[in-house]
Structure 1
Amino acid sequence: MGLVRSEICRSPPWCQARLVRVENCGGRPRGHDKDKVYLKGKDKIVPPFRFGVEDVATKMWFHKLAYPGQCLTNSHLDIIFYYLRKKGKYAKEPKVKFTTTDCLFFKTIHALYEKFIAQKKNLSLITAQHAIADYIRGRKMLCGSPWHLCDHVLFIIHMETESHWILGRLNIEERRMYMYNSLSTAMKDSAAIKACQPFAVDCGCFVASFAEYFIDMKPIPPIFDVEKHRDRLAVLFYKYARMKELDFIDSEDEAPPKGPKKNLS
C-alpha cells in the first residue's frame, strides 16, 4: 500500500525572524575563511572521539556544529540522528515509537527511484534483497528498529540543487509523509528566497531541532535561538566524548541483527 498523501508542515516564525539576528550577531568579521579557523596541525583530535556510527578526528567538526552560518555535514546529521535513535530505543517510557534513517538512505532510495522511473516504473527493481529492505527490517544501522514496530520514521533529506536539509516524517498508520522545511514559508517570492540565502546554511540545525521536538512530543516554539541550540549540541557531544575517553567507556554492541544467509547458488 502506498502513501495516502504528503504534507508540507508550515515552518514557525523564527525561521524568518532569525535572519536579522544571525546577520548581525557580530561573531566573525566579513570575509573570514570559516574553513581555516585553526593553525596548521592544531585541528587534530588524537585519539579521535568515538560516536558509535563515526569517529570525529578534527576540531572543525565541533566548530561547524557550534557556530551559525555553517552547513552541517552528513557526519553531523548521522551522528545526531544515531543518538536520537538511542534516546528513543533505550528510554524507559518513550513518548513515541520511532526510528530514523541516515544520509545514505536518502541517496540510496533516490537512486532507486530514478532507476525505477527510467525503466518505466519497473516493479521488479523493488526486491527484498535491496538495501532499502534492510533499512525497513532494522538491519542497516546501529540502533535501528524494524519499521513494523514503529509508528513514525524520520528521514534526513538533502536537496542537492539547493544545498539544503529538510526533515521527512512518515506516519505509518496514516500512510502519510510530512515534510519539515525551515524555508517553506519563505519560498513564496524571489525577494524572500534571496533574503533567506544567508540563513539557509543553518538548515541542518533546524532538521535536528524538528526531530528532537517531535520525539519529545513538544510543540515547535515560536521563538528559537539557533546559536544557543548549536552551542548546546556542540557542548553535549564534546562533554560526552571526553567522559567516554576519561572513563574508558565504550558503547555497547549495537550492531543490527544479521539477516538470513543469501542463497548464492
Structure 2
Amino acid sequence: MTQIIALDPILNATTTPNVRTRHKNVVKYDSSPYIRMSEGESSSNRVPTFFQIKHPFQNHNGFDVPVELIEEFNKWIFKDVSSRRGRKAAYSKIKNTFHPQVDFGVVKIGEKDFFHIMSQPGRPWEDGHINTIMYYLRKKAKYSQTVTSYSTVDCWFMAWVDNIEKQWRQSECDMRCISPDHDVGQCIRGYKLLANVPWDRVDEVIFPVNINDKFHWFLVVFRIKSRCLYVYDSMMGGSVHSRKVKEAVDKLATMIPLFLTSTGFYGKRLDLYANNLPDYQQKSHSEPLSIKNVTHVPQQEESSNDCGLYTSLFAEYMSNGVFDISHIDIDSKYHRQRYATLLWHYGKSKNDEGAISESEVTGTVASKKGGPRTHKEQVMDTTNYPTPKFRIRK
C-alpha cells in the first residue's frame, strides 16, 4: 500500500534565517545533500545541522502533552476538512498535500490525511503509523538513561517470518534456509532497521503483529531471559480470532530460536546459562519459545478500529519497563491526539530548523562492522498515502 523509493533530499523549510546551499562535493549523507551555511561562512567549514531532539517523546514527561500544543495541532488538522461524504481522504486533493514533507526516518509524509487517520476516532492505523512509532521507540531506547533494555521491530518483520517459515516447511525443515543473512537474521544481528541494535544487547524485543484477514493489530513481547513470548491483545475472544493470533505467534515461537542459533546469539549471551536461568536449563537451542497470553489487558471498544493505537500504547508502556498493564485505563481519543500531535510537532520543528537527525546519518555502519550493507535511504513515500477501507469486525 506504500511505495519504496530512494530518500529524497530534505526539503527547505519555508522560512530560515540562514542560506542553504547545495554543494556537489560534500560528503554524502543518507538523509540530505544539503548543508546549512551561516552568512559569510566558507565552504570548508560546512557541517550538517543536526536536530537536537532525538525523538518525539523526549521533552514530554510520561504520557502528558500540553493542552495548548494539542489545540495548535487541532487547529491545523481541522482546517480545510472536506464536508463531502464518501471521500476516501478527509480533504480534497489540493488541500490534502502540504510542503515540505516531514521525514520520520522510516516514512516521509506529505499528506494531512496521515495525521487525520492517526488522530480521529474510527480510522484504523496502517503500517506507516505503526512503523513510525516503533522506530521512535527504538531511538528512545538508544538515548535513554534508564536501565530498561529493549528493541522493537517494524511491521516488515512478521512478513519476513511468514515467508521464511513457509520456505522452511516446504524444504522439510532444511536448516540451510535459516541464514544469518536473511532479513530476520540481519535484524537479530542489529542491521536492516534504522536505529536497530543486536538482540544480544537487550532483554526484550517488541513485535507489532497484524492479522491481515482480520484487520487487527496486537503486540508480542519476547522477554529473552524468560525465553517466552508474551501476547498483549486488545480484542481478546472468539474462536476464529484466537486461532489466527495463535497461528501468527506460533510462527514467531518456532522461527526465532532457529535464527538465534544461526546468528550465534547464544554464544554472545552466556549469562543465560551462567546464571542458571531455569527457562534455559536442559532445553535445546532450537526448541520453540514458550507462549503466554497475558490476561486482563485493556480492551478496546468493539468496532472502534483502535487496535493499532492500543498496540502502540502497549509497546510504549513496555518501553518504560511496565509489563503489567492490567490497571491501565486508556482514553483512546486522547492518545490518538497525543501521538498525532507529538509526531506533527516533531516533524514541523525539524523542518523549521532545516535539520536532519543525527542517528539517521550513519552511512554504512553495518558494512563497516562486517555485516551486510543495508541501504538506509530506502523509505516509504506517502505522497499518495492510501486511506484503508473500513472493515466490519465479525
Task: Give the TM-score normalised by the residue count of structure 1.
Answer: 0.79
Tell me the secondary structure at the aligned position of residue 42 of structure 1: helix
Match of 2:163 among 111, 115, 119: 111
The alignment status of 1:64 with 2:117, answered yes or no, reads yes
Classify 1:197/1:254 alpha carbon distance in 2 versus 1 (closer, same or farther; 3 Å).
farther
Match of 1:204 among 308, 332, 336: 308
Task: Give the TM-score normalised by the residue count of structure 2.
Answer: 0.54
CA offset digits 1:6-59 (Å, max 9, x no partner) = xxxxxxxxxxxxxxxxxxxxxxxxx95462311231111211101111111110
Matched residue, 1:153: 205
Matched residue, 1:137: 189
Q: How does 1:1-265 map to 2 (within 5 A)?
A: 32-33=85-86, 35-91=88-144, 93-184=145-236, 186-187=237-238, 198-199=303-304, 201-218=305-322, 219-220=324-325, 221-252=327-358, 253-254=361-362, 257-258=366-367, 260=370
What is the CA–CA distance in structure 2 between the aligned matches of 1:34 and 1:151, rounded to whole Å? Answer: 45
What is the CA–CA distance in structure 1 between the aligned matches of 2:94 and 2:213, rounded to whole Å? Answer: 34
Q: Which amino acid aligns with 1:208?
A: S
Contact 1:43 1:58 in 2 (8 A): yes
Measured after TM superposition, the shift of residue 122 of structure 1 is: 2.0
Measured after TM superposition, the shift of residue 137 of structure 1 is: 0.7
- What's the RMSD between the two structures over aligned residues? 2.4
CA offset digits 1:73-125 (Å, max 9, x no partner) = 1110111111000111111x224101111111110111111121222222221
Number of equivalences: 226
CA offset digits 1:210-249 (Å, max 9, x no partner) = 0011111235244211010000000111111111111122
Measured after TM superposition, the shift of residue 160 of structure 1 is: 0.9
Tell me the secondary structure at the aligned position of residue 170 of structure 1: strand
Measured after TM superposition, the shift of residue 196 of structure 1 is: 6.1
Structure 2: runs of 5 or more not aligned: 1-83, 242-299, 373-394
Contact 1:95 1:216 in 2 (8 A): no
Measured after TM superposition, the shift of residue 128 of structure 1 is: 1.8
Contact 1:143 1:254 in 2 (8 A): no
Contact 2:191 2:371 in 1 (8 A): no
Contact 1:101 1:156 in 2 (8 A): yes
Tell me the secondary structure at the aligned position of residue 131 of structure 2: helix
Structure 1: runs of 5 or more not aligned: 1-30
What is the CA–CA distance in structure 2 between the aligned matches of 1:189 and 1:84, rounded to whole Å? Answer: 31
Matched residue, 1:23: none
CA offset digits 1:60-85 (Å, max 9, x no partner) = 00000001211111110111111000
Contact 1:65 1:233 in 2 (8 A): yes
Measured after TM superposition, the shift of residue 130 of structure 1 is: 1.2
Classify 1:196/1:113 alpha carbon distance in 2 versus 1 (closer, same or farther; 3 Å).
farther
What is the CA–CA distance in structure 2 between the aligned matches of 1:48 and 1:76, rounded to whole Å? Answer: 15
Tell me the secondary structure at the aligned position of residue 206 of structure 2: strand
Matched residue, 1:5: none
